Amino acid sequence: MILFFQLFLFSLLSDYYSQKSDDTNCFDLKFSKLHLEFFLDEKKISGFNESTFIKNCASDTLIMDLSENMIVDSIFLCNEKTEFLFKKNKLFIPIHHFTNNYFNVKIFYNGSPKIAKNPPWKGGFVYERDNSNMHWVGVACQNDGASLWWPTIDDVSDEPDSLSVEMVVIEPYFLVSNGRLDSIVQLNNSRRKFCWSVSNPINNYNVTFNIANYVHFSDSLKTTYGKLDLDYYVLPSNLNKAKNHFSQVKPMLSFFETKFGPFPFYEDGYKLVETSYLGMEHQSCISYGNQYKNGYLGLHPENIDFDFIIIHETAHEWWGNSLSMINHKDMWIHESFATYAEALYVEEFYGYQEMLNYLNYQKVKIKNKQPIISSNHKTTDIYYKGTWVLHTLRSVLNNDRTWFSILLNLQLEFKHKIVTTNDITKYIENLSGLNLESFFFQYLFNSDLPVFDYFFDENEDGMQLHYRWTSSDDDFSMPLLVTVYESNFNWIYPTKDWKSTPVYIKPDKFKVAENLFLLETNLIK
Ligand SMILES: [Zn+2]
């Protein structure tokens, strides 16, 4: 018996490694149904996840992820109980006896999911109490993976086309999940089952639940694309505050639609749900924990007093939830664009100069310690450097009509799609008509900023500016605005080779447009 299981395990593990290396798209997840009951006092859950897959390769083992502190009771393949192995956070399920490429797997499990140490960054279940000492529970798992609480495949390159969530909790608690609330079913022992459904593709880390003594209010937004339902779930003591504070939502959504196209999930609606942790872009169920303060928990540049969590997390509905990265190393696609959406929001509602002030407020946080494209993001450069890369690109294009058309068309082209960094950069190159290879290579794949070297000398023709780029790529040749004349900025076209141009300004009055470009300057004396 032991030998049999060793052989079985060996064959499954070998299959795992060959599957990982040869074909990561082996199993295409089409649909997931998550059914769970919550035992709040015991901090336990029990239930099942049923997933439907299409098999695209010869592998005879399905491998799913689940935190090993959970207990797997049984697994059914197309309604037949099956053997499985559960080892090192992996579930190995043999499917060799299936000839059908379309199959479903139902995994019954239970346990106590790990508790978040510092949500939403160090994730897990979040158990808090409201000011009436009632349970207030949620989950955040973007960095940890959804497998910390349900069996799934922790791979952002595949999303189910739709999702069903059934969750049972004791009265009087209300449970809010993603998508639409289809029904609330009264069960025995004062329990209620909340049935939610998501009609669009969804990252598994976006799947969430929120349990509290929530009160609900709703609104709707009439747009050129139809009627968007807005639902808000907040703690009873914050109802009046929330009704006032969430008035930022409608003008924000209208503005984002003008810049990024229609809200990507009309079928599922828009929701803000009050959480004890700061926030997370859970699709169509945004976690809101900014405590009804302006800025970031009250911190913001002078005069720029929007609620950071509402604007940033909502921007992720476009940048991250609809247009989604294929791999965590491409996370700038989510965070740089969502952070840049904040700058555009400031430009719209506070003015162009305040937008520059806002960007400069974020600029000091840029570290340049590792490239933006990285398998392990150790700094916040995917946010602050990323937004500055996009701001710089807008300056390079020098044509706002083209720039905003690029942002809009990225959204339309890649709506509900999973993309690589290359998909994004090539698309921008095509629409701009510019060769931006060295631009993206410098800013995304290198940690250092390009350095603008320059010095002055005077000859019989007057004062001369000498300049060049020092950068990681010899082809880097970003045009730049500098003060050739005292009164205004003019374009120059530095390359890696020294160039010179007459300037009609004293050297100590010379300026590089550092409000518009992310770079280092180096005055050679
Ligand atoms: Zn974000």
Domain count, the chain: 2
- Residues spanned by the domain of 399: 319-445
Where among 392, 416, 445 does a domain terminate?
445
How far from 243 is each of 199, 216, 232, 366, CA to CA, in Å? 28, 10, 9, 36
Indicate whether 438 belongs to any domain: yes
Alpha-carbon gap, residue 171 to 323, rounded angstroms? 37
Positions of the chain with pLDDT lower than 70, given as ranges: 1-24, 99
- Same domain for 437 and 490? no
Shared domain for 349 and 460, answered yes or no, is no
Domain boundary among 425, 445, 465: 445
Q: What angle do CA 389, 518, 337 make, to 5 degrees?
A: 20
Radius of gyration of the chain (CA): 26
Are 468 and 356 members of one domain?
no
Is ipTM over 0.95? yes
CA 332 – ligand 1 centroid, Å: 9
Are 379 and 394 in a shared domain? yes
496 in any annotated domain: yes
Asked, as a colleague might, if the bond just before 119 is cis with ω within 30 of 0, I would say no
Both 326 and 434 in a single domain? yes
State whether 437 and 469 are in the same domain: no
In whole angstroms, give the CA distance from residue 29 to residue 54: 7
- Per-residue pLDDT of 70-85, as tens digits, reads 999 999 999 999 999 9
Residue 461's SS3 state is: coil
Distance 88 CA to ligand 1 centre (A): 30
Instruction: Provide the residues around ligand 1 (an ion) whose CB is within 5 A.
Output: 335, 338
Listed in sequence order, the residues at least 6 apart from 414 whose beta carbon sits closer than 8 Å to its beta carbon are 322, 323, 423, 424, 427
What is the per-residue pLDDT across 348-368, written as a single tens digit (0 to 9) for each?
A: 999 999 999 999 999 999 999
Whole-number Å distance, alpha carbon 80 to ligand 1 midpoint, is: 42
**What separation, in Å, do the N-terminal and C-terminal C-alpha atoms of the chain show?**
79
Tokens of 274: 């009050």
Give me the pLDDT at residue 365, please.
Answer: 97
Among the three residues 445, 468, 491, which one is the final residue of a domain in this structure? 445
Residue 473 included in any domain: yes
Question: What is the structure's pLDDT at 4?
Answer: 39
429 domain residue, yes or no = yes
How many whole angstroms from 214 Cα to the centroid of ligand 1? 25
Residues 6+ positions from 365 with CB-CB distance below 8 Å = 380, 383, 384
CB 270 within 8 A of CB 249: yes
- Asked if the structure places residue 465 within a domain, the reply is yes
pLDDT, residue 24, reads 59
Inter-residue contact 411 to 316 (CB < 8 Å): no
The verdict on 484 and 441 lying in the same domain is no
Does any domain span residue 432? yes
